[in-house]
């Protein structure tokens, strides 16, 4: 990795090169500085088309404007975060900002400034690197180091929003008058400029509104989620084809195999891949993925591809590593499958959000009582929640630009709410018998099973976006056979 020329704290990239001498930048002569200023072709992109979702982002901003008339609204993308020393984590813009603009670049800020008839929209971005003062090659974030940025003119064409230089925004916000709201937690500099103008309560109302706005997906979002799921299905197929290699290495071979699909067809994985073999499947968020992969054990693979527009799938399959379920593995798997079937059947417009969880939990409880693992009757077990020793978690969540989407929504709008067409959620019951659980027969210990699919609520009922991936135990075995053959 190339090493940058050192920067000094008292000098910024915008200062002229002549002020960066006396040994601060060895080798930067006046002649080199002058050479680097000129001789560059015009690279302005003049035939850009707007992004695919430009109409949808405009409609989202209009809804936001209508909800908060007369108020200045500030939505930052966020800044780069240091991974180690002088290297940064890959940047991912805040969901609120990306949802409203479609832009994904660091340091961006969307500002809606109140007017007599609504709001004036401006997207504040870093402009092209300045070649006159050397910023493009002397700054660690100059374009020579990290790649070309869109010009402000290009950005206006892409996103359908007037664009301005973000470096001027903090001063403008300090001078602003009237009520202001900001989405917190992404840009400390922007928040500092608004310290005396905002309140936590009012800012939380903005965050909640933007979370609840994502509960019902538009057609563009549904299409992106289907793309994410389709790529995820192919990623699961990739994994099955290399299980023999994973057995020779570790769970990380599985993680890496799926990641390749995510990076080739999408932006990234939507969350840390859970590649949990054997008893690791009983750890709900096992992301260390450093354990052995053994024939005769189960593999719980919980993974999702994230599209270039940030929409993620979230799918889980529990697979027999050698291609065949043992008798007890099949018993547990089939119970989870039946519970998921009951949960999916409960997903319908007008139904309560909690219905699919209750339906799945009832099936699992019936099986636990039937197997003698907990004393019935079923109603008693459900009332006391005794089944949760082995079911552990809720049966699903909203899905979208966050894997656990709409997390800031009010309880009455989400978990106590009613399902509507356009909502997308996961249905993912599971049974987990910990390796050290002495309350169950030894044959169950170390078995963990979860089956998860991404379900779209439709006007008629629901549609399983991930139905291309087999679920029934016999279908799973046949599918694995076909891929290994």
The pairing of strands 268-269 and 305-306 is antiparallel
DSSP one-letter code for 19 = G
Q: Using 50, 70 and 90 to split pLDDT, how confident is the model at 29?
A: confident
Task: Tell me what the mean pLDDT of segment 242-250 comes to.
Answer: 96
Give the pLDDT confidence of 66-85 residue by residue, as tens digits: 999 999 999 999 999 999 99
pLDDT at 140: 87
Residue 8: pLDDT above 90? no
pLDDT at 25: 57
Give the pLDDT confidence of 262-304 residue by residue, as tens digits: 999 999 999 999 999 999 999 999 999 999 999 999 999 999 9
Q: What distance in Å separates the CA atoms of residue 147 and residue 440, rounded to the nearest whole number?
A: 57
pLDDT at 89: 96
pLDDT at 160: 98
> Which residues, including other chains, have CB under 8 Å from residue 188's CB and lie 6 or more apart?
79
Residue 105: pLDDT above 60? yes
Give the pLDDT confidence of 86-96 residue by residue, as tens digits: 899 999 999 99
pLDDT at 484: 82
pLDDT at 10: 40
Q: Using 50, 70 and 90 to split pLDDT, how confident is the model at 4?
A: low
pLDDT at 165: 98
306: Cα separation from own chain's centroid: 7
Residue 6: pLDDT above 60? no
pLDDT at 130: 86
> Which residues, including other chains, have CB under 8 Å from residue 41's CB and lie 6 or more apart?
none
Residue 13: pLDDT above 60? no
Residue 459: pLDDT above 50? yes
Q: Using 50, 70 and 90 to split pLDDT, how confident is the model at 406?
A: very high
pLDDT at 298: 98
Q: Evaluate the omega torsion of the peptide bond into residue 54 and state whether it is cis, within 30 degrees of 0.
A: no
Residue 258: pLDDT above 90? yes
pLDDT at 21: 40
Residue 15: pLDDT above 60? no
Give the pLDDT confidence of 162-183 residue by residue, as tens digits: 999 999 999 999 999 999 999 9
pLDDT above 70 coverage of the chain, percent: 94
Q: What distance in Å separates the CA atoms of residue 343 and residue 359, rounded to the nearest whole number?
A: 5
- Average pLDDT score, the chain: 94
Give the pLDDT confidence of 195-212 residue by residue, as tens digits: 999 999 999 999 999 999
Q: What distance in Å separates the CA atoms of residue 188 and residue 209, rounded to the nearest whole number?
A: 22
Q: Using 50, 70 and 90 to split pLDDT, how confident is the model at 239?
A: very high
Q: Using 50, 70 and 90 to split pLDDT, how confident is the model at 44?
A: very high
pLDDT at 26: 60
Residue 409: pLDDT above 50? yes
Would you say 312 and 473 are in contact if contact means Cβ atoms under 8 Å apart?
A: no
> Which residues, including other chains, have CB under 8 Å from residue 298's CB and lie 6 or more apart?
277, 278, 281, 318, 319, 320, 321, 329, 447, 448, 449
Give the pLDDT confidence of 475-485 residue by residue, as tens digits: 999 999 999 86
Q: What distance in Å separates the CA atoms of residue 206 and residue 193, rounded to the nearest whole number?
A: 18
Give the pLDDT confidence of 128-160 residue by residue, as tens digits: 998 888 889 988 889 999 999 999 999 999 999
pLDDT at 18: 42
Among 124-138, 218-232, 309-323, 455-469, the least confident range: 124-138
Residue 43: pLDDT above 60? yes
pLDDT at 132: 85
């Amino acid at each position: 990795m190339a090493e940058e020329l050192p920067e000094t704290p008292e000098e910024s990239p915008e200062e002229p090169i002549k002020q960066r001498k006396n040994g601060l930048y060895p080798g930067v002569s006046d002649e080199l500085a002058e050479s680097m200023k000129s001789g560059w072709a015009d690279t302005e992109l003049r035939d850009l088309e707007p992004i695919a979702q430009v109409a949808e982002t405009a409609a989202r901003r209009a809804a936001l404007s209508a909800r908060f008339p007369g108020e200045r609204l500030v939505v930052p993308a966020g800044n780069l975060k240091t991974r180690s020393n002088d290297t940064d984590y890959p940047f991912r813009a805040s969901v609120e900002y990306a949802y409203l603009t479609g832009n994904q670049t660091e340091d961006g800020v969307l500002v809606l400034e109140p007017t007599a008839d609504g709001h004036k929209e401006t997207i504040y971005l870093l402009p092209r690197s300045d070649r006159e003062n050397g910023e493009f090659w002397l700054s660690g974030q100059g374009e020579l180091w990290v790649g070309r940025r869109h010009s402000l003119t290009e950005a206006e064409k892409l996103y359908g929003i007037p664009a301005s230089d973000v470096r001027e925004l903090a001063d403008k916000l300090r001078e602003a008058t009237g009520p202001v709201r900001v989405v917190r937690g992404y840009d400390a500099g922007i928040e500092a400029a608004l310290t005396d103008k905002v309140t936590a309560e009012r800012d939380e109302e903005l965050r909640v509104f933007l979370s609840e706005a994502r509960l019902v997906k538009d057609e563009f979002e549904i299409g992106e989620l289907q793309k994410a799921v389709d790529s995820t299905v192919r990623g699961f197929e990739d994994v099955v084809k290399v299980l023999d290699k994973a057995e020779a290495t570790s769970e990380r071979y599985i993680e890496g195999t799926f990641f390749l699909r995510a990076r080739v067809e999408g932006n990234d994985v939507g969350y840390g891949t859970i590649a949990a073999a054997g008893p690791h499947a009983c750890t709900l968020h096992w992301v260390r993925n450093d354990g052995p992969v053994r024939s005769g054990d189960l593999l719980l693979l919980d993974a999702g591809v994230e599209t270039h527009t940030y929409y993620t799938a979230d799918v889980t399959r529990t697979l027999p590593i050698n291609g065949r379920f043992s008798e007890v593995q099949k018993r547990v798997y089939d119970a989870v499958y039946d519970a998921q079937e009951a949960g999916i059947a409960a997903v319908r417009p007008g139904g309560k959000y909690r219905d699919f969880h209750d339906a799945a939990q009832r099936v699992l409880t019936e099986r636990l009582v039937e197997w003698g693992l907990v004393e019935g009757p079923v109603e008693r077990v459900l009332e006391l929640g005794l089944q949760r020793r082995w079911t552990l978690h809720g049966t699903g969540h909203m899905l979208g630009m966050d894997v656990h989407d709409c997390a800031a929504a009010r309880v009455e709008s989400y978990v106590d709410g009613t399902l509507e067409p356009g909502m997308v959620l996961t249905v993912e019951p599971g049974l987990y018998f910990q390796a050290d659980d002495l309350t169950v027969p030894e044959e169950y210990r170390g078995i963990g099973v979860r089956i998860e699919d991404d379900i779209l609520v439709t006007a008629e009922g629901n549609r399983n976006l991930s139905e291309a991936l087999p679920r029934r135990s016999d279908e799973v075995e046949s599918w694995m056979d076909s891929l290994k053959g």
